[in-house]
Amino acid sequence: MSDWPDLAGRLEDGGHVLPIRVYYEDTDFSGVVYHGAYVRFFERARSDFLRLIGIHHTEMAEGTHGASQAFAVKTMTLDFQKPARIDDVLQVHTSLAEYKGARIRLDQLIYRGDQLLVSAAVTVAIISSQGRPARLPSALAERLRQFVPAENAGG
C-alpha cells in the first residue's frame, strides 16, 4: 500500500502543502468553486499542518498537555484572484507568519498548478475551555516555533 497518498499533505519549505480535489459539492450552479468552500479548504490545511507537527485538536480539547484548549479564527482576509472549477486539483500552501502569546498568524495560498487562485491571511487565537486567551503548553509551543520566521517569533 505504498501508493496510498498522505491524506495530511506534507511539510516542505518551512510550511505545509495539502492537495485538494474539487468535487461537485464544492461548486455552485455554474461549476465554479463556491466562495465558502475555500474557507473549508484553508481550515483542512491548517488542521493538517498542525497535525503533522504534532499539535492535535483532539488532544488540545481533552487537555492531554495541560488545560483544555482550542483554536478560534479571529480574523480572515480572503483575496479571490481566479476561480477553481470542478475536478481541478489544487494545492493549499500554509506558512506561519507570526506566533506571539495566544495569537498565531498564518498565510495561506491556493494554487492550481503554478497559478495563484486565492490567498488568505488568518489570525487564530488560542483559547481556554472558558473562551479566554491562553498560551500553548511549552512542548506544543516549541513545535510551532520551528516554523515561524525568526523575526516574528515571540510565543
Catalytic residues: 28
CA 86 to chain centre: 22
Q: Which of 41, 34, 49 is nearest to 91 (CA)?
A: 41
Burial of 11 by CB count in 10 Å (0-12 exposed, 13-18 middle, 19+ buried)?
middle
Q: Is the dihedral of CA 33, 36, 38, 44 positive or negative?
A: negative
Q: Using CA atoms in the order 146, 110, 126, 139, what is the torsion angle rounded to 10 degrees? A: -20
In three-state secondary structure terms, 12 is: strand
